[in-house]
Amino acid sequence: MPEQPRSIRSRQAIIEATADLIGRQGVSGTSVADIIRASGTSTGAIYHHFGSKQEIIVETARQALHWPMTAITEYFDNPASPADLFGYAVEALRFGPELGELLVQLGAGGLSDDELGRALRAEFSQLRDGLDLTLGSWARNQGLPQERVRGLAEMLVGLILGFATQRALVDDFDEAAYEVQGRAMLAAAVAG
């Protein structure tokens, strides 16, 4: 695989460092100086790629949600059931807990930061739309009416964010029970 140009590597290092810092310190607790230090870049590199800390954070949010969107589109041609999609998401959050922590912190930051909030709403809207398409495709493959999956994208996103939030904030969160109950709720919703 060809090596990435230095500029692309430094931009990605900035975004990855920002994601790590936000996951641990929150949006407001992350400074440009922290990002410079953690990314191993310079002030010049930061402002070469981004006009402000705000732009770094918004791009970090976009990239954090890009991976789930990519994963969902992979299931479009051979879609999984809503319960299985939930199970895959839970497994991904277990495998990469930093994504869940980042999403929780970005969500908190988006409540008080209008630009971040708008970016998150746009990304979650795309995520929901992708889920709607995937769930609609699954229903067609199963011979089910589309009404059976209407609203399930919102429910699925809510269950996934609920898992991420409780995993980050609740000491005695029973992940296994949550997954079992989430799968059962989704299966019951589809069964009608």
pLDDT tens sequence across 132-142: 988 999 999 99
Domains, in order of start, for the chain: 54-190 (1.10.357.10)
Using one digit for the tens of pLDDT, what is the confidence trace for 101-132?
998 999 999 999 999 999 889 988 888 888 89
- Sequence length of the chain is 192
Using one digit for the tens of pLDDT, what is the confidence trace for 62-105?
888 877 667 666 665 678 899 999 998 898 888 888 888 998 99
Asked if 115 contacts 105 with a C-beta cutoff of 8 angstroms, the reply is: no
Report, as an integer, the average pLDDT of 46-58: 93
| Percent of the chain at pLDDT exceeding 70 | 93
CA dihedral (61, 100, 95, 136) positive or negative: negative
Asked if 139 contacts 148 with a C-beta cutoff of 8 angstroms, the reply is: yes
> Which 3 state secondary structure label does DSSP give 113?
coil
pLDDT above 70: residue 25: yes
Q: Whole-structure pTM over 0.85, yes or no?
A: no
The tokens for 15 are 């975004």
| Element counts in the chain: helices (H) and strands (E) | 9, 0
